[in-house]
A and B are shown apart, each in its own frame.
Chain A
Amino acid sequence: MSDENTISHEKVREEVINAIKAIDNGPQVLKLYMEMCARCGTCAEQCPVYYGEPTKERNPVLRSDLIRSTFKKHTTIAGKLLGALDGAGDFDGDMEKWVTQFYECTGCRRCATFCPFGIDNSVITRKGRAIADKLGLTPDTMKSVVKTSLETHNTDGASPEAFKSAIDFLEEEMKDEHGIDIKIPVDVEGAEFFYVPPSGDVLVNPEATTGIAKVFYVLGMQDNWTMSSKCFDGANYGLFTGNDTDMKADNKPYVDEAISLGSKYMFMGECGHAYRIMKMMMEKGKWWGDLPFKVVNCMEWTADQIEAGRLEFDKSKNPMPVTYHDPCNFGRSCGIVEDPRVILKATCQDFREMYPNRGENWCCGGGGGLSAMDDIHDFRMNVSGRKKMEQVKDTGAKYVATACSNCKRQFMQLIEYHKADFAVGGVHDMLSRAIMINGKAAERIDYES
C-alpha cells in the first residue's frame, strides 16, 4: 500500500511541476506575476484574510509563493542558479496544504488594487486551484455545485417545472402586494431583455426578482423582457474551481438560450461573478465569437431609469439605516459602483457609506466561492469575515444591501454566528418594497425595520 502511495505521490509532484512550468508558455500576465513580486508586503496589509489572522499561512505573498518558488526553480535562470536566494524552491508535494491554502484566498483582488506592480494574487490562486482540480482534489462541495450546475444549468438543481411554479408563486405574491397583475414572462421569444439572475434570487430570496418585474411593469415594458425556464441561474462555479472547460460549458447554454430567444440584451441580475464572467470574460474575450446581443446589468439599467425620473418611490417603506457592501466582482472587477448607490439613495431614507468603499471595499470573507463551503465555516466567521463585521458595525446600519448571493450567504452566517443586530438583502429588494405603482407602494405586513 505504501508503494502505491509513493508512486502516486511522485506522480502528483510531477504533474504539479509540469503544470507550473507550463505557465512559462501561457498568458503573459501570469508569467509577469511570477517574476515581478518585490515582496514588499503591501498586499498582506490589504488582505482580509491576513487581517483576520496575521500568520504566515494567511499571507498572500507566501501563498502565491507555493507556485512562484517552483516556477522560479524550474524556468528562470536566476532561480536555477541562485536557488533560495532568488526565492526559488521546489514543490514539496504536500497537496493537502496546497488545497487548504488556495481555498483560503477569497480571490477578492484587493491586493491587486494596492500592489505597486498590480500583481493580482487571485489569478495565481485560480491557477493553484486549477492545478488541484486537474488532480481531482477540488473540495467536494465545489465539485458537487459544478456537477449540479452542468447537469441542470442551475446550482439549485431545480427543474423547469419547479421554476415555473416558483414564478407563478411570485406573481401571486406581487398581486397580493399591489392588487394588480404584474407579469414575470417566461420563455418569450423575441423579448428584448433576457433576465439571468442567480437562482437564489428566484427560489430563496425572491424579492430582487419581484423588484425587477415591478420596474418593467412601471415602465410599461412587461412584454419586453423574459426569463428562461431552462437557464435561470447565472452562477458559474467553474470560475472558482479554476477549471476553464467547466466554466465555458456552464456558460454556453446561456449564450445559446439568449440567441434562440432572439434577445437584444442579456440582462444580468444581482450576481457579481456571473456578470463578470459574461461581461469581462465571455463578451470581451469573444469565447463564442461575435454576439447578436449585449450584456448589461440590471442595476445599471434601473439606475438609468431612476436618473431619468421614470420611477417613483415611497422612502418611508425603508426607514432603517442602510449601507451598501460592494461585492468584489462588481466593485473592483466590473466598475459597477455608482448604480447601486443611485438605487439605494432613491429608495431608502437613511443611506450610509461604509469605509473604505467602492473599488477599495473589503471582501465579505466569502469570495471566490468560499461562501458555499461550510467545511471552512469557522475560518470564514473568525478570520476572513472579521474585517467586514467591524466595518458594518462602524456604520451603525441595520440593513446591509449587497448585490451578490455569495456575499449574502456569508453575511447571513456572520450575523447568526456573531449574533449581530442587522439584516442583509439585495439592492432590488429595497426597490421592491418602496417602488410606487399607481401611486402606492407594496403593502406588506412582515417587514420589521
Chain B
Amino acid sequence: MSNIEPETVTFAGKIYSLDQRGFLKSPEQWDEDFAEGMAEVQEIYGGLTEKHWDLIHYIRRKFTEEETIPVVVLACADNNLKLSDLRFLFPTGYHRGACRIAGINYDFMYKTNFWLTYETTTLQKEEYKLTHRGFLEDFSKWDERFAQIIIREWKLPGGLTDRHREIISYLRDFYERMKNIPTFFEMCKANNLDVDEFKELFPEGYRRGACRIAGLPFFG
C-alpha cells in the first residue's frame, strides 16, 4: 500500500532499515551519515549545522544515558531554543524531524510517553506552482528547497553543490536586472565554466536545466 513507508534507505552507500513509520529500526545502527541523509529527507537542505547537532546530541544523550526522550517544550527549554527556532531548524518538527534524525525509533518514543507523538507541526509545505513545462511560475517563490527538489529529480550523485549555487545565483541575479537570460557563452565565461563541466552539473541542458533550477521562466 502506498501509505506504508519504504523499509530501507541508503545513505552514503550504507543501508539502514526503517520501521513502519519511517523511523530507524535499531538505534545501534545510527551514525552521522544516517543523520545527514535523513536530514535531507526531513527537508533540511545544505547539511546539518552546529545548532542541529547540538539538539541531536542532546536527544542521543537522553536516549542512551537516561533511556528517555523529553517532550518538545522541555527539550527546547533545556537547549535554550525558541519553538520558532526549532521549526526553522527542523521543519518537520521535533519528534518527526529531530528525533527521527537522531535515530530514535518510534516504538521507544511511544512507550516512553505517547504524548510525544501528539505534537501537531505543520507537515505540509506549500507546493510550488509550476507551468506546464515544469518551470516555476513565480520567480520570487524560488528557494533552496526548490533547487533541491529539482536536483533530486535529476538524480545527481553529488546533490546540490556549491558550484550549482554559484551558477544559480548568477542566473537569478542576471534575470532580476535584465529580465532576460544571459547567452550560454556569457554564462560560461562569467562563471569560468567549460562545456564538459556544465554538462556534468546540469545534465538537462541550459534552458531546461540551469535556468529551470534557478527558477527562471521559460525562454523558447
Contacts and interface: CB of A to CB of B under 8 A. Distances in A.
Contacts of A419: 3
Interface residues of B, number: 29
B114 A204 contact: no
Interface string A412-426: 110111111111110
Nearest to A448: B122
A386 interface: no
A1 interface: no
B156 interface: no
A110 B78 CA distance: 44
A408 B122 CA distance: 13
Contact of A374 (B110, B113, B125): B110
Nearest to A382: B3
Contacts of B115: 155-156, 199-200, 203-204, 405
Contact of A417 (B3, B73, B83, B124): B3
A170 interface: yes
A411 B71 CA distance: 19
B77 A418 contact: no
B161 interface: no
Contact of B71 (A204, A415, A418, A445): A204
A198 to B, nearest CB: 9
A384 to B, nearest CB: 16
Give the secondary structure class of B's interface. Answer: helix
Interface in A181-239: 199-200, 202-206
Interface in B96-124: 96, 110-111, 113-120, 122-124
B126 interface: yes
Contacts of A206: 73, 83
Nearest to B93: A412
B61 interface: no
B74 A162 contact: yes
A388 to B, nearest CB: 16
A245 interface: no
A166 interface: yes
A18 interface: no
B76 interface: yes
A233 to B, nearest CB: 9
B120 A425 contact: yes
A156 B116 CA distance: 9
A405 B114 CA distance: 12
B203 to A, nearest CB: 30
Given A145-B114, A165-B77, A417-B3, A423 B84 contact: no
A287 interface: no
A444 interface: yes
Given A141-B114, A204-B72, A418-B3, A176 B120 contact: no
Interface size on A, as a range, is: 35 or more
A446 B77 contact: no
A12 interface: no
Nearest to A426: B120
Contact of A173 (B82, B110, B126): B82
Contacts of A173: 82-83
Nearest to A421: B124
B88 interface: yes
Contact of A409 (B3, B78, B84, B117): B117
Interface string B65-97: 000000111101110001110011000000010
Contacts of B87: 446
Q: Which of B72, B78, B118, B119 has the most CB of A within 10 A?
A: B118
A166 B77 contact: yes
A419 to B, nearest CB: 8
Interface string A151-185: 00001111000100110111011001000000000
A411 B119 CA distance: 11
Interface of A: 141, 144-145, 155-158, 162, 165-166, 168-170, 172-173, 176, 199-200, 202-206, 372, 374, 381, 405, 408-409, 411-413, 415-425, 444-446, 448
Given A166-B74, A203-B71, A405-B118, 9 more contacts: A202-B73, A203-B72, A204-B73, A204-B119, A374-B117, A417-B3, A420-B124, A422-B124, A444-B84
What 8 pairs across the A-B complex have the smallest Cβ distances?
Answer: A169-B77, A446-B84, A446-B87, A203-B71, A409-B118, A166-B73, A423-B122, A203-B73
24 contacts: A144-B111, A145-B114, A155-B115, A166-B77, A169-B73, A203-B73, A204-B118, A206-B73, A206-B83, A374-B110, A374-B114, A405-B118, A408-B120, A409-B118, A412-B117, A412-B119, A413-B117, A416-B123, A423-B122, A424-B120, A445-B84, A446-B88, A448-B122, A448-B126
